[in-house]
């Protein structure tokens, strides 16, 4: 869908057009659910968080100031829903990234971080990361977004995305060492 078409859909949805909102969500629902599943590691919780995020987006859509920031705004709502879900838990369970990773076909030359995302050590290490670290790693490695798109999704400068990705990779490496 062209960028102008998306902006028009967002503008229409902000005015209460349910069909426009539905069309926007159709293209994003799978990614929202995969991200929630990867962060939470639990299918029912992921579905609840994704659904709550989309409901919250619909309810709060009139407050969205910049229609160009719709994706970043949805991602921020989803991260907050995932944080709330993790707070409601008394303990953190192992993150089930293997199922989320299987949804993405990995061909030759695939990213090694993505290729090993299902291993027990990576799952154990991943659960030790903050939601922000998980999110940036997922956007870049699982969803395959370039750094400029990651920055756009997170509503941060590209340089900040680079440094956060670097820090998240270091945190994952430290967590992997602790798992061994």
The answer for residues whose C-beta is within 8 angstroms of residue 117's C-beta and 6 or more apart is: 97, 98, 100, 101, 126, 141, 142
CA–CA gap between residue 41 and residue 97 (Å, rounded): 7
Closest CA to 58 of 29, 17, 1, 2: 17
CATH of the domain at 70: 1.10.1740.10
Domain identity same for 158 and 99 = yes
Domain identity same for 178 and 111 = yes
Domain identity same for 106 and 176 = yes
CA–CA gap between residue 143 and residue 19 (Å, rounded): 26
Q: Which residue has the higher pLDDT, 109 or 14?
A: 14
Domain identity same for 6 and 89 = yes
Number of H helices, E strands in the chain: 11, 0
- Dump pLDDT digits (tens) for 49-79: 999 999 999 999 988 888 888 888 998 899 8
> Which of 93, 115, 142 finishes a domain?
93
State whether the Cα torsion 165-152-78-30 is positive or negative.
negative
Radius of gyration of the chain (CA): 16
Domain identity same for 114 and 71 = no
Residue 9 has pLDDT above 50, yes or no: yes
Residue 104 has pLDDT above 50, yes or no: no
- Say how many domains are in the chain: 2
> Which of 93, 122, 149 finishes a domain?
93
Domain identity same for 65 and 107 = no
Domain identity same for 175 and 124 = yes
Domain identity same for 80 and 127 = no
CATH of the domain at 177: 1.10.10.10
Q: What is the largest CA-CA distance in the chain?
A: 53
- What pTM does this model have? 0.61
């Amino acid at each position: 869908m062209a960028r102008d078409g998306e902006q028009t859909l967002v503008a229409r949805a902000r005015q209460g057009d349910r069909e426009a909102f539905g069309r926007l969500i159709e293209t994003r629902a799978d990614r929202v659910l995969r991200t929630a599943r990867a962060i939470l590691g639990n299918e029912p919780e992921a579905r609840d968080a994704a659904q709550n995020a989309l409901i919250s987006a619909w309810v709060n859509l009139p407050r969205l100031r910049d229609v160009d920031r719709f994706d970043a705004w949805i991602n921020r709502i989803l991260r907050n829903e995932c944080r709330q879900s993790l707070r409601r838990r008394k303990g953190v369970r192992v993150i089930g990234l293997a199922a989320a990773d299987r949804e993405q076909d990995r061909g030759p030359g695939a990213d090694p971080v993505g290729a090993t995302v299902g291993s027990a050590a990576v799952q154990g290490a991943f659960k030790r990361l903050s939601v922000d670290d998980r999110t940036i790693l997922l956007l870049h490695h699982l969803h395959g977004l370039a750094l400029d798109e990651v920055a756009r999704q997170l509503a941060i400068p590209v340089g900040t995305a680079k440094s956060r990705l670097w820090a998240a990779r270091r945190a994952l490496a430290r967590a992997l060492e602790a798992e061994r």
